[in-house]
Protein backbone atom coordinates (compact mmCIF):
# COMPACT_ATOMS: atom_id res chain seq x y z
CA UNK A 1 0.00 0.00 0.00
CA UNK A 2 1.05 3.56 -0.63
CA UNK A 3 1.33 4.71 3.00
CA UNK A 4 3.09 7.71 4.51
CA UNK A 5 6.39 7.48 6.41
CA UNK A 6 5.13 7.97 9.96
CA UNK A 7 2.02 5.79 9.63
CA UNK A 8 2.68 2.54 11.51
CA UNK A 9 -0.64 0.75 11.16
CA UNK A 10 -3.93 0.40 13.02
CA UNK A 11 -4.51 0.16 16.74
CA UNK A 12 -7.67 -1.22 18.35
CA UNK A 13 -9.21 1.28 20.76
CA UNK A 14 -10.87 -1.64 22.55
CA UNK A 15 -8.06 -4.12 23.29
CA UNK A 16 -4.97 -2.26 22.08
CA UNK A 17 -3.99 -4.88 19.49
CA UNK A 18 -2.02 -3.62 16.47
CA UNK A 19 -2.49 -4.51 12.83
CA UNK A 20 -0.79 -3.46 9.64
CA UNK A 21 -3.01 -1.70 7.14
CA UNK A 22 -2.88 -4.62 4.69
CA UNK A 23 -4.49 -7.09 7.07
CA UNK A 24 -6.45 -4.82 9.40
CA UNK A 25 -9.02 -3.47 7.00
CA UNK A 26 -12.05 -2.85 9.22
CA UNK A 27 -12.96 -3.63 12.87
CA UNK A 28 -10.67 -5.52 15.25
CA UNK A 29 -10.73 -9.26 14.48
CA UNK A 30 -10.06 -9.99 18.18
CA UNK A 31 -12.63 -7.83 20.00
CA UNK A 32 -14.61 -6.04 17.23
CA UNK A 33 -13.30 -2.68 18.48
CA UNK A 34 -12.76 0.35 16.26
CA UNK A 35 -9.34 0.48 14.62
CA UNK A 36 -7.52 3.79 14.79
CA UNK A 37 -4.65 4.79 12.49
CA UNK A 38 -1.41 5.13 14.47
CA UNK A 39 1.78 7.07 13.75
CA UNK A 40 5.33 7.34 14.94
CA UNK A 41 5.15 11.03 15.84
CA UNK A 42 8.92 11.27 16.19
CA UNK A 43 9.06 10.62 12.46
CA UNK A 44 6.72 13.56 11.74
CA UNK A 45 8.72 16.62 10.89
CA UNK A 46 6.19 19.47 10.84
CA UNK A 47 6.41 22.99 12.18
CA UNK A 48 4.20 26.03 11.79
CA UNK A 49 6.33 27.62 9.09
CA UNK A 50 6.32 24.49 6.95
CA UNK A 51 2.54 24.30 7.07
CA UNK A 52 2.06 28.03 6.50
CA UNK A 53 4.22 27.86 3.40
CA UNK A 54 1.87 25.35 1.78
CA UNK A 55 -1.13 26.42 -0.29
CA UNK A 56 -4.41 26.11 1.64
CA UNK A 57 -5.80 23.86 -1.07
CA UNK A 58 -7.06 20.59 0.41
CA UNK A 59 -7.04 18.52 3.59
CA UNK A 60 -4.29 16.47 1.98
CA UNK A 61 -1.86 19.30 2.82
CA UNK A 62 -1.57 17.49 6.18
CA UNK A 63 -0.31 14.40 4.36
CA UNK A 64 2.31 13.57 7.02
CA UNK A 65 -0.50 13.00 9.53
CA UNK A 66 -2.64 10.90 7.21
CA UNK A 67 -2.15 7.19 6.44
CA UNK A 68 -1.87 7.44 2.65
CA UNK A 69 0.18 9.61 0.34
CA UNK A 70 -1.48 12.52 -1.41
CA UNK A 71 -0.28 11.08 -4.73
CA UNK A 72 -2.34 7.94 -4.13
CA UNK A 73 -5.47 9.71 -2.87
CA UNK A 74 -8.95 9.46 -4.36
CA UNK A 75 -9.54 13.16 -3.92
CA UNK A 76 -11.51 16.15 -5.20
CA UNK A 77 -9.54 18.67 -3.14
CA UNK A 78 -12.00 18.42 -0.26
CA UNK A 79 -11.38 20.36 2.92
CA UNK A 80 -9.58 23.71 3.13
CA UNK A 81 -12.98 25.25 3.86
CA UNK A 82 -13.38 28.84 5.08
CA UNK A 83 -13.66 29.84 8.73
CA UNK A 84 -16.10 32.73 8.56
CA UNK A 85 -16.22 35.53 11.15
CA UNK A 86 -19.78 36.09 12.42
CA UNK A 87 -19.90 39.36 14.36
CA UNK A 88 -23.66 39.47 14.87
CA UNK A 89 -23.63 35.99 16.30
CA UNK A 90 -20.79 36.94 18.64
CA UNK A 91 -22.90 39.84 19.96
CA UNK A 92 -25.92 37.62 20.43
CA UNK A 93 -23.96 34.92 22.23
CA UNK A 94 -22.16 37.50 24.34
CA UNK A 95 -18.67 36.29 23.42
CA UNK A 96 -15.58 37.80 21.79
CA UNK A 97 -15.72 35.97 18.48
CA UNK A 98 -17.90 33.42 16.74
CA UNK A 99 -16.58 31.73 13.63
CA UNK A 100 -18.40 29.24 11.46
CA UNK A 101 -16.33 26.53 9.79
CA UNK A 102 -18.27 26.20 6.56
CA UNK A 103 -18.05 22.57 5.53
CA UNK A 104 -20.89 23.15 3.10
CA UNK A 105 -18.20 24.14 0.61
CA UNK A 106 -16.98 20.60 0.13
CA UNK A 107 -17.42 18.75 -3.19
CA UNK A 108 -20.73 17.08 -2.24
CA UNK A 109 -21.76 19.80 0.19
CA UNK A 110 -20.81 18.21 3.51
CA UNK A 111 -17.80 17.24 5.62
CA UNK A 112 -18.59 13.59 4.84
CA UNK A 113 -16.24 14.13 1.91
CA UNK A 114 -13.29 14.28 4.32
CA UNK A 115 -14.11 10.81 5.57
CA UNK A 116 -14.85 9.34 2.17
CA UNK A 117 -11.69 10.57 0.47
CA UNK A 118 -9.66 8.54 2.97
CA UNK A 119 -12.01 5.54 3.14
CA UNK A 120 -12.16 5.32 -0.66
CA UNK A 121 -8.39 5.67 -0.96
CA UNK A 122 -8.09 2.67 1.39
CA UNK A 123 -10.75 0.72 -0.55
CA UNK A 124 -8.90 1.46 -3.76
CA UNK A 125 -5.58 0.32 -2.34
CA UNK A 126 -7.19 -2.86 -1.03
CA UNK A 127 -8.39 -3.52 -4.58
CA UNK A 128 -12.09 -3.30 -3.73
CA UNK A 129 -14.52 -3.66 -6.63
CA UNK A 130 -17.56 -2.68 -4.55
CA UNK A 131 -18.11 -0.52 -1.48
CA UNK A 132 -21.20 -0.40 0.74
CA UNK A 133 -22.61 1.60 3.62
CA UNK A 134 -25.77 2.57 5.44
CA UNK A 135 -26.16 6.29 5.89
CA UNK A 136 -28.65 8.96 6.89
CA UNK A 137 -27.96 10.52 3.48
CA UNK A 138 -24.89 12.71 3.21
CA UNK A 139 -22.32 9.95 3.67
CA UNK A 140 -24.11 7.90 1.02
CA UNK A 141 -23.92 10.74 -1.45
CA UNK A 142 -20.25 11.31 -0.69
CA UNK A 143 -19.44 7.60 -0.98
CA UNK A 144 -21.19 7.35 -4.35
CA UNK A 145 -19.22 10.36 -5.61
CA UNK A 146 -15.79 9.13 -4.49
CA UNK A 147 -16.50 5.54 -5.56
CA UNK A 148 -17.39 6.75 -9.04
CA UNK A 149 -14.14 8.66 -9.21
CA UNK A 150 -12.21 5.51 -8.27
CA UNK A 151 -14.20 3.29 -10.68
CA UNK A 152 -15.62 1.34 -7.76
CA UNK A 153 -19.28 0.29 -7.59
CA UNK A 154 -21.14 1.70 -4.58
CA UNK A 155 -24.12 0.24 -2.70
CA UNK A 156 -25.87 2.80 -0.56
CA UNK A 157 -28.61 1.97 2.00
CA UNK A 158 -30.67 4.96 3.09
CA UNK A 159 -33.76 5.34 5.27
CA UNK A 160 -36.86 6.69 3.58
CA UNK A 161 -36.55 9.94 5.52
CA UNK A 162 -33.13 10.73 4.01
CA UNK A 163 -33.20 14.12 2.29
CA UNK A 164 -34.33 14.33 -1.32
CA UNK A 165 -31.06 15.85 -2.56
CA UNK A 166 -28.89 13.08 -1.15
CA UNK A 167 -31.10 10.39 -2.68
CA UNK A 168 -31.13 12.08 -6.06
CA UNK A 169 -27.37 12.57 -6.07
CA UNK A 170 -26.57 8.97 -5.15
CA UNK A 171 -28.33 8.07 -8.42
CA UNK A 172 -26.62 10.85 -10.34
CA UNK A 173 -23.20 9.60 -9.19
CA UNK A 174 -24.11 6.12 -10.45
CA UNK A 175 -24.54 4.52 -7.05
CA UNK A 176 -26.78 1.51 -6.45
CA UNK A 177 -29.32 2.83 -3.94
CA UNK A 178 -31.65 0.94 -1.64
CA UNK A 179 -34.19 3.08 0.22
CA UNK A 180 -35.46 1.30 3.30
CA UNK A 181 -38.71 2.16 5.08
CA UNK A 182 -38.07 3.49 8.56
CA UNK A 183 -35.01 5.01 10.18
CA UNK A 184 -31.24 4.68 10.08
CA UNK A 185 -31.38 1.42 12.06
CA UNK A 186 -33.60 -0.16 9.41
CA UNK A 187 -31.21 0.94 6.67
CA UNK A 188 -28.38 -0.51 8.77
CA UNK A 189 -30.16 -3.87 9.00
CA UNK A 190 -30.67 -4.02 5.22
CA UNK A 191 -27.01 -3.13 4.73
CA UNK A 192 -25.96 -5.90 7.13
CA UNK A 193 -28.08 -8.45 5.27
CA UNK A 194 -26.54 -7.40 1.96
CA UNK A 195 -23.02 -7.50 3.39
CA UNK A 196 -23.64 -11.05 4.60
CA UNK A 197 -24.56 -12.06 1.05
CA UNK A 198 -21.62 -10.30 -0.62
CA UNK A 199 -18.38 -11.12 1.12
CA UNK A 200 -16.42 -9.15 -1.48
CA UNK A 201 -18.12 -5.84 -0.62
CA UNK A 202 -15.83 -3.45 1.20
CA UNK A 203 -17.52 -1.42 3.94
CA UNK A 204 -17.10 2.33 4.11
CA UNK A 205 -19.57 2.63 6.97
CA UNK A 206 -19.06 4.81 10.07
CA UNK A 207 -16.50 3.28 12.47
CA UNK A 208 -16.44 0.08 10.41
CA UNK A 209 -13.75 1.51 8.14
CA UNK A 210 -10.90 2.88 10.30
CA UNK A 211 -10.54 5.92 8.10
CA UNK A 212 -13.57 8.19 8.34
CA UNK A 213 -12.71 9.79 11.69
CA UNK A 214 -9.16 10.05 10.46
CA UNK A 215 -10.25 12.16 7.50
CA UNK A 216 -12.53 14.33 9.58
CA UNK A 217 -9.75 15.11 12.06
CA UNK A 218 -8.29 17.54 9.51
CA UNK A 219 -11.05 20.04 10.39
CA UNK A 220 -9.26 20.74 13.66
CA UNK A 221 -5.89 21.20 11.99
CA UNK A 222 -7.44 23.74 9.65
CA UNK A 223 -9.30 25.63 12.39
CA UNK A 224 -6.19 26.29 14.48
CA UNK A 225 -4.13 27.18 11.45
CA UNK A 226 -6.85 29.58 10.27
CA UNK A 227 -6.81 31.15 13.75
CA UNK A 228 -3.06 31.66 13.38
CA UNK A 229 -2.35 28.90 15.89
CA UNK A 230 -4.69 30.23 18.57
CA UNK A 231 -6.74 27.42 20.08
CA UNK A 232 -10.44 28.37 20.21
CA UNK A 233 -12.07 28.28 23.64
CA UNK A 234 -14.91 26.13 22.39
CA UNK A 235 -15.89 24.11 19.35
CA UNK A 236 -19.57 23.19 19.02
CA UNK A 237 -20.26 20.18 16.87
CA UNK A 238 -23.59 18.65 15.70
CA UNK A 239 -23.10 15.11 16.98
CA UNK A 240 -24.57 11.94 15.56
CA UNK A 241 -22.09 9.05 15.50
CA UNK A 242 -19.44 11.45 16.78
CA UNK A 243 -17.00 10.65 13.98
CA UNK A 244 -15.89 14.24 13.53
CA UNK A 245 -15.80 14.89 17.26
CA UNK A 246 -13.41 12.06 18.11
CA UNK A 247 -11.42 12.90 15.01
CA UNK A 248 -10.97 16.51 16.13
CA UNK A 249 -10.06 15.40 19.65
CA UNK A 250 -7.37 13.13 18.23
CA UNK A 251 -6.12 15.92 15.98
CA UNK A 252 -5.90 18.41 18.86
CA UNK A 253 -3.82 15.96 20.89
CA UNK A 254 -1.58 15.32 17.90
CA UNK A 255 -0.97 19.03 17.28
CA UNK A 256 -0.34 19.55 20.99
CA UNK A 257 2.08 16.64 21.21
CA UNK A 258 3.90 17.89 18.12
CA UNK A 259 4.30 21.26 19.86
CA UNK A 260 2.20 23.12 17.27
CA UNK A 261 -0.39 24.23 19.87
CA UNK A 262 -0.40 24.39 23.68
CA UNK A 263 -3.85 23.26 24.53
CA UNK A 264 -6.86 21.23 23.46
CA UNK A 265 -10.07 23.21 22.76
CA UNK A 266 -13.21 22.46 24.79
CA UNK A 267 -15.36 20.24 22.60
CA UNK A 268 -19.16 20.46 22.86
CA UNK A 269 -21.59 17.94 21.39
CA UNK A 270 -24.84 19.49 20.17
CA UNK A 271 -27.83 17.21 19.64
CA UNK A 272 -31.58 17.52 19.10
CA UNK A 273 -33.86 16.77 22.06
CA UNK A 274 -35.60 14.13 19.91
CA UNK A 275 -32.39 12.06 19.85
CA UNK A 276 -29.88 12.99 22.55
CA UNK A 277 -28.15 9.83 23.81
CA UNK A 278 -24.79 11.59 24.25
CA UNK A 279 -26.26 14.54 26.15
CA UNK A 280 -28.10 12.19 28.52
CA UNK A 281 -25.03 10.05 29.17
CA UNK A 282 -22.89 13.15 29.68
CA UNK A 283 -25.33 14.71 32.14
CA UNK A 284 -25.73 11.45 34.07
CA UNK A 285 -21.96 11.00 34.29
CA UNK A 286 -22.14 7.68 32.46
CA UNK A 287 -19.33 6.24 30.31
CA UNK A 288 -21.65 4.88 27.66
CA UNK A 289 -25.00 5.92 26.15
CA UNK A 290 -28.35 4.18 26.42
CA UNK A 291 -29.86 3.69 22.95
CA UNK A 292 -32.83 5.94 22.19
CA UNK A 293 -35.87 3.80 21.53
CA UNK A 294 -37.95 6.25 19.49
CA UNK A 295 -35.67 8.82 17.88
CA UNK A 296 -37.53 11.67 16.26
CA UNK A 297 -35.89 14.81 14.98
CA UNK A 298 -35.88 16.72 11.74
CA UNK A 299 -32.07 16.69 11.93
CA UNK A 300 -31.46 13.52 9.94
CA UNK A 301 -27.65 13.62 10.06
CA UNK A 302 -27.66 13.43 13.86
CA UNK A 303 -30.67 11.15 14.30
CA UNK A 304 -28.35 8.38 15.47
CA UNK A 305 -30.04 6.56 18.37
CA UNK A 306 -27.24 4.10 19.08
CA UNK A 307 -23.82 5.74 18.61
CA UNK A 308 -21.44 2.84 19.17
CA UNK A 309 -18.42 5.07 19.83
CA UNK A 310 -20.09 6.85 22.76
CA UNK A 311 -17.32 6.00 25.29
CA UNK A 312 -14.80 7.70 23.02
CA UNK A 313 -17.10 10.69 22.41
CA UNK A 314 -17.77 11.13 26.14
CA UNK A 315 -14.07 10.92 26.91
CA UNK A 316 -13.39 13.65 24.34
CA UNK A 317 -16.05 15.92 25.88
CA UNK A 318 -14.84 15.38 29.45
CA UNK A 319 -11.09 15.37 28.85
CA UNK A 320 -11.28 18.54 26.75
CA UNK A 321 -13.34 20.35 29.38
CA UNK A 322 -16.32 20.68 27.06
CA UNK A 323 -19.88 19.47 27.40
CA UNK A 324 -23.10 18.46 25.70
CA UNK A 325 -26.28 20.33 24.90
CA UNK A 326 -29.60 19.56 23.22
CA UNK A 327 -32.23 21.93 21.82
CA UNK A 328 -35.53 21.15 20.14
CA UNK A 329 -36.30 21.08 16.43
CA UNK A 330 -38.13 24.39 16.46
CA UNK A 331 -35.20 26.19 18.05
CA UNK A 332 -32.82 24.47 15.64
CA UNK A 333 -34.82 25.56 12.58
CA UNK A 334 -35.04 29.08 14.01
CA UNK A 335 -31.25 29.09 14.41
CA UNK A 336 -30.77 28.01 10.79
CA UNK A 337 -33.02 30.83 9.61
CA UNK A 338 -31.37 33.37 11.91
CA UNK A 339 -27.87 32.51 10.67
CA UNK A 340 -29.01 32.61 7.05
CA UNK A 341 -30.70 35.99 7.57
CA UNK A 342 -28.08 37.64 9.71
CA UNK A 343 -24.81 36.15 8.50
CA UNK A 344 -25.71 34.90 5.03
CA UNK A 345 -24.42 31.42 5.70
CA UNK A 346 -26.67 28.50 4.79
CA UNK A 347 -26.90 25.79 7.43
CA UNK A 348 -28.83 22.55 7.02
CA UNK A 349 -31.12 21.73 9.98
CA UNK A 350 -28.71 19.04 11.24
CA UNK A 351 -25.89 21.57 11.34
CA UNK A 352 -28.02 24.29 12.86
CA UNK A 353 -28.23 22.08 15.96
CA UNK A 354 -24.69 23.34 16.60
CA UNK A 355 -25.71 27.00 16.22
CA UNK A 356 -28.78 26.48 18.38
CA UNK A 357 -26.69 24.57 20.93
CA UNK A 358 -24.11 27.38 21.01
CA UNK A 359 -26.90 29.87 21.72
CA UNK A 360 -28.16 27.70 24.56
CA UNK A 361 -24.64 27.30 25.98
CA UNK A 362 -24.22 31.07 25.79
CA UNK A 363 -27.42 31.56 27.75
CA UNK A 364 -26.27 29.06 30.36
CA UNK A 365 -23.06 31.06 30.80
CA UNK A 366 -20.77 28.33 29.49
CA UNK A 367 -18.57 30.87 27.66
CA UNK A 368 -16.45 33.76 28.91
CA UNK A 369 -17.17 37.28 27.56
CA UNK A 370 -14.03 37.22 25.44
CA UNK A 371 -14.28 33.60 24.31
CA UNK A 372 -13.64 32.49 20.74
CA UNK A 373 -16.33 29.99 19.75
CA UNK A 374 -16.20 27.91 16.58
CA UNK A 375 -19.41 26.39 15.24
CA UNK A 376 -19.16 23.58 12.73
CA UNK A 377 -21.48 23.99 9.77
CA UNK A 378 -21.08 20.39 8.69
CA UNK A 379 -23.19 20.69 5.54
CA UNK A 380 -24.76 23.09 3.09
CA UNK A 381 -28.19 24.51 3.86
CA UNK A 382 -29.41 24.20 0.30
CA UNK A 383 -29.32 20.40 0.56
CA UNK A 384 -32.36 20.74 2.83
CA UNK A 385 -33.91 23.89 1.41
CA UNK A 386 -37.32 22.19 1.45
CA UNK A 387 -37.17 21.58 5.19
CA UNK A 388 -36.04 25.13 5.94
CA UNK A 389 -38.67 26.64 3.66
CA UNK A 390 -41.49 24.60 5.14
CA UNK A 391 -40.48 25.86 8.59
CA UNK A 392 -41.27 29.35 7.30
CA UNK A 393 -44.58 28.10 5.89
CA UNK A 394 -45.43 26.82 9.36
CA UNK A 395 -45.09 30.44 10.48
CA UNK A 396 -47.37 31.67 7.70
CA UNK A 397 -44.50 33.11 5.63
Q: Does 25 bind ligand PLP (CB under 6 A)?
A: no
In the list 3, 58, 203, 378, the residue contacting ligand PLP (rule: CB under 6 A) is: 378
In the list 14, 96, 148, 311, the residue contacting Zn ion (rule: CB under 5 A) is: 14
Q: Which is nearer to ligand PLP, 224 or 336 (CB)?
A: 336
Q: Which is nearer to Zn ion, 32 or 386 (CB)?
A: 32
Q: Which does 12 bind (CB under 5 to 8 A by kind): ligand PLP, Zn ion, none?
A: Zn ion
How buried is 300 (Cβ within 10 angstroms: 0-12 exposed, 13-18 middle, 19+ buried)? buried
Beta carbon of residue 109, minimum distance to ligand PLP (angstroms, whole number): 9
- Count Cβ atoms below 10 Å from residue 394 Cβ, excluding itself: 10
Q: Does 326 bind ligand PLP (CB under 6 A)?
A: no
For residue 34, the 8-state DSSP code is P
Q: Does 327 bind ligand PLP (CB under 6 A)?
A: no
User: Are 313 and 242 in contact, with CB atoms under 8 Å apart?
Assistant: yes
DSSP 323-389: EEEEE-HHHHHHHHHHHHHHT---B-HHHHHHHHHHHHHHHTT-S-TT-EEEEEE-BBGGGGHHHHH
Q: Which is nearer to ligand PLP, 314 or 348 (CB)?
A: 348
Beta carbon of residue 220, minimum distance to ligand PLP (angstroms, whole number): 13
Distance of CA 369 to the CA centre of its chain: 28
Alpha carbons 142 and 379: distance in angstroms, whole number: 12
Beta carbon of residue 148, minimum distance to ligand PLP (angstroms, whole number): 19
Length of the chain: 397
In the list 232, 241, 305, 357, the residue contacting ligand PLP (rule: CB under 6 A) is: 241
Binding map of ligand PLP across residues 98-137, x = CB under 6 A, - = no contact: ------------x-x-------------------------
Q: Does 356 bind ligand PLP (CB under 6 A)?
A: no
In the list 5, 18, 22, 31, the residue contacting Zn ion (rule: CB under 5 A) is: 31
DSSP 69-83: -GGG---S------E
Part in contact with ligand PLP (CB under 6 A); list of ranges 7-15, 156-164, 232-240, 330-338? 232-240
In the list 90, 187, 243, 292, the residue contacting ligand PLP (rule: CB under 6 A) is: 243
User: Are 69 and 281 in contact, with CB atoms under 8 Å apart?
Assistant: no
182 backbone dihedrals φ, ψ, rounded to 5°: 110, -145
Q: Does 15 bind Zn ion (CB under 5 A)?
A: yes
Q: Which does 166 bind (CB under 5 to 8 A by kind): ligand PLP, Zn ion, none?
A: none
Q: Which does 239 bind (CB under 5 to 8 A by kind): Zn ion, ligand PLP, none?
A: ligand PLP
Treating both helix axes as pointing N-terminal to C-terminal, what angle do 138-149 and 164-172 enclose, rounded to 10 degrees? 10
Alpha carbons 337 and 335: distance in angstroms, whole number: 5
Q: Does 351 bind ligand PLP (CB under 6 A)?
A: yes
# binding residues, ligand PLP (CB under 6 A)? 19
Alpha carbons 44 and 57: distance in angstroms, whole number: 21
Alpha carbons 14 and 33: distance in angstroms, whole number: 5
Q: Does 30 bind Zn ion (CB under 5 A)?
A: yes
DSSP 271-339: EETTB-HHHHHHHTT-SSPPPPSS---S-GGG--S--TTHHHHHHHHHHTT-EEEEE-HHHHHHHHHHH
Beta carbon of residue 221, minimum distance to ligand PLP (angstroms, whole number): 16
* Contacts with 252 (C-beta within 8 Å, 6 or more apart), sequence order: 220, 224, 231, 261, 264, 265, 320
In the list 67, 159, 163, 244, the residue contacting ligand PLP (rule: CB under 6 A) is: 244
In the list 120, 133, 348, 374, the residue contacting ligand PLP (rule: CB under 6 A) is: 348
Q: Which does 244 bind (CB under 5 to 8 A by kind): Zn ion, ligand PLP, none?
A: ligand PLP
Dihedral of CA 167/169/173/174: which sign?
Answer: positive
Q: Which is nearer to ligand PLP, 9 or 241 (CB)?
A: 241
Contact residues toward ligand PLP (CB under 6 A) are: 110, 112, 138-139, 206, 238-244, 301-302, 348, 350-351, 378-379
Amino acid sequence: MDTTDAFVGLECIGCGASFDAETGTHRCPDCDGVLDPAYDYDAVDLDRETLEARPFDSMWRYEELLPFTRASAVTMDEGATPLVECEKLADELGVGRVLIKDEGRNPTGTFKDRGQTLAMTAANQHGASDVALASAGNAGQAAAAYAGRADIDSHVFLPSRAGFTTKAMVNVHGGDMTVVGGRIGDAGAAYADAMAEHDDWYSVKTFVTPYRHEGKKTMLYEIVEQLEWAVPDAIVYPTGGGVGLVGMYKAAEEFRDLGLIDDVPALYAAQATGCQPIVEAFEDGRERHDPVEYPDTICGGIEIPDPGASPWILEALRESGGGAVATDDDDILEAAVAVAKGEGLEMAPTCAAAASGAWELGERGAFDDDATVVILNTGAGNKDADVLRSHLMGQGV
